[in-house]
């Protein structure tokens, strides 16, 4: 049996007719960038994410960058984030001109730990604390970070909160949607996300009139009106085609998220039955709505051998992420070293993503767990 980590072709079958129809419409209109399709998507996403506004941008990474720019966080500033995330989170901080300050993660959820944030801030010298302007919590794998205490910390130290919700569209924390809790919510439409386009794309949500307007201007070179520039922005525009595809998929998103949750529940039962509880730790799910962009297991030992074995069995897996950001070559100049964030380092060495996409069949799941059991027994 073959079990890929993700099978987008199956999903495409369900939206093919609509997608081809809208592609034809856009090709015939020759209206490719921003415009009515993007505006429609912006209204739909704002409503879906319980946010006042949404602005389409070129990618999830650019959503982060433009949010930092809109909040005027750049040269001389620092921003707290997690060392255990996709590179773009911290890369955007540096591209904005600021410095990332890492705080360790919670071993249960792999999300940034409010306790570590508080510890990092309270042990900063006063001059460093004055530079601190923001926090970027990441809702990793589709589960919201512990936003209650994070928002309290932000309030206490007057920090802008940018939610990196690239993996978490529709997930909830105490019934609040991802992207509606901070000053900004950043989403990605990269094809492998739960709501993926047919190329690159992203969107920023915000409840602020001021930030909404700034993003609108910054995403098109800062021009307002055309050819008059009071600020320097960039080309962060979203294509009509990507927006139209995302609008079509959005109608299916809740069904797909529910299928992912059902698959996650099925894995938990299968792993329990397998008797592997000492060796394989399944995801820890809080009360909140988890949308399982990834299903991550933690392995006591032999993670890399298991991965090679599964590859031989034609089961797709991946490691998110093998090198925590504080240990990346390009961030060496900041001065972090091995041992600084033990939980993130443990996660990098012991976790593995296994297939959880909506169209995965119960048979395929049983096969995955059977092969993992075979490997360890
Ligand atoms: C995918 C992702 C991004 C970047 O999104 P792109 O659209 O690929 O630029 C940022 N942060 C996280 C956590 C992601 O998973």
Digit-coded pLDDT (tens) for 47-105: 999 999 999 999 999 999 999 999 999 999 999 999 999 999 999 999 999 999 999 99
Run of H or E residues at 326: none
> Domain check: are 215 and 350 in the same one?
no
Q: Which structural domain, as residue segments, surrounds residue 95?
A: 8-104+111-250
Q: How far is CA 315 from CA 93, 191, 256, 281, 320, in A?
A: 35, 20, 21, 19, 16
* Substitution candidate for ligand 1 out of 58, 165, 166 with most atoms within 8 A of CB: 166
User: Considering 223, 250, 277, which residue would you say is the last residue of a domain?
Assistant: 250
> Domain check: are 233 and 302 in the same one?
no
The pLDDT of residue 84: 98
| Averaged confidence pLDDT in the chain | 97
Instruction: Tell me: pLDDT of 287 over 80.
Output: no
Whether 3 is covered by a domain: the verdict is no
Atom of ligand 1 nearest to the CA of 61: 9
Atom of ligand 1 nearest to the CA of 62: 9
Can you tell me the mean pLDDT for 314-340?
98
288: pLDDT confidence band, cut at 50, 70 and 90?
confident
Q: Copy the structure tokens of residue 219.
A: 């995403």
Helices (H), the chain: 8-29, 36-48, 60-70, 87-95, 114-122, 126-131, 147-157, 209-218, 240-250, 253-274, 303-312, 342-350, 362-376
Percent of the chain whose pLDDT exceeds 70: 100
> Domain check: are 172 and 291 in the same one?
no
Can you tell me the mean pLDDT for 21-36?
97
Q: Say if CB 295 and CB 356 are below 8 A apart.
A: yes
Rg for the chain (alpha carbons), in Å? 21
The pLDDT of residue 252: 97
Instruction: Tell me: pLDDT of 285 over 90.
Output: no
The pLDDT of residue 9: 96
Please give the Cα distance from 217 to 226 (Å, whole number). Answer: 10
Q: Say if CB 139 and CB 164 are below 8 A apart.
A: yes
Full-model pTM: 0.98
225: domain CATH number?
3.40.640.10
> Domain check: are 31 and 43 in the same one?
yes
pLDDT, tens digit (0-9, with 9 covering 90-100), for 190-206:
999 999 999 999 999 99
Length of the chain counted residue by residue: 377
> Domain check: are 76 and 215 in the same one?
yes
Q: Determine if ligand 1 sits within 6 Å of the CB of residue 59.
A: yes
Can you tell me the mean pLDDT for 303-324?
98
End-to-end alpha carbon distance in the chain: 20
* Substitution candidate for ligand 1 out of 6, 61, 112, 320 with most atoms within 8 A of CB: 61
């Amino acid at each position: 049996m073959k079990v890929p980590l993700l099978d987008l072709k199956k999903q495409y079958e369900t939206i093919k007719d609509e997608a081809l129809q809208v592609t034809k419409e856009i090709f015939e209109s020759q209206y490719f960038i921003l415009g009515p399709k993007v505006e429609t998507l912006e209204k739909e996403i704002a409503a879906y994410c319980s946010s006042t506004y949404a602005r389409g941008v070129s990618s999830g990474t650019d959503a982060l960058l433009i949010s930092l720019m809109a909040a005027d966080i750049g040269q001389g500033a620092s921003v707290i984030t997690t060392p255990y995330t996709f590179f773009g989170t911290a890369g955007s901080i540096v591209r904005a001109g600021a410095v990332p300050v890492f705080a360790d993660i919670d071993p249960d959820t792999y999300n940034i730990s409010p306790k570590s944030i508080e510890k990092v801030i309270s042990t900063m010298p006063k001059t460093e604390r004055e530079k601190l302007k923001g926090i970027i919590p990441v809702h990793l794998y589709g589960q919201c970070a512990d936003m209650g205490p994070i928002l309290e910390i932000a309030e206490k130290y007057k920090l802008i909160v940018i939610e990196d919700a690239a993996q978490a569209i529709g997930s909830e924390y105490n019934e609040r949607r991802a992207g509606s809790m901070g000053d900004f919510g950043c989403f990605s439409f990269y094809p492998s996300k739960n709501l993926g386009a047919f190329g690159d794309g992203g969107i920023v949500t915000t409840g602020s009139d001021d930030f909404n307007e700034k993003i609108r201007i910054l995403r098109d070179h800062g021009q307002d009106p055309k050819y008059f520039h009071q600020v320097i922005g960039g080309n962060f525009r979203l294509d009509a085609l990507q927006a139209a595809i995302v609008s079509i998929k959005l109608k299916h998103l809740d069904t797909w998220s529910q299928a992912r949750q059902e698959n996650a529940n099925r894995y938990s039962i299968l792993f329990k039955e397998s008797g592997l509880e000492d060796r394989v730790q399944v995801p820890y799910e809080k009360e909140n709505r988890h949308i399982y962009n990834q299903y991550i297991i933690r392995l006591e030992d032999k993670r890399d051998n298991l991965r090679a074995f599964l590859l031989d069995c034609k089961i797709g897996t991946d490691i998110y992420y093998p090198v925590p950001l504080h240990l990346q070559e390009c961030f060496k100049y900041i001065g972090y070293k091995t041992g600084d964030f033990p939980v993130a380092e443990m996660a990098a060495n012991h976790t593995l993503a296994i297939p959880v996409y909506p169209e995965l069949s119960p048979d395929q799941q049983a096969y995955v767990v059977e092969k993992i059991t075979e490997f360890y027994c």
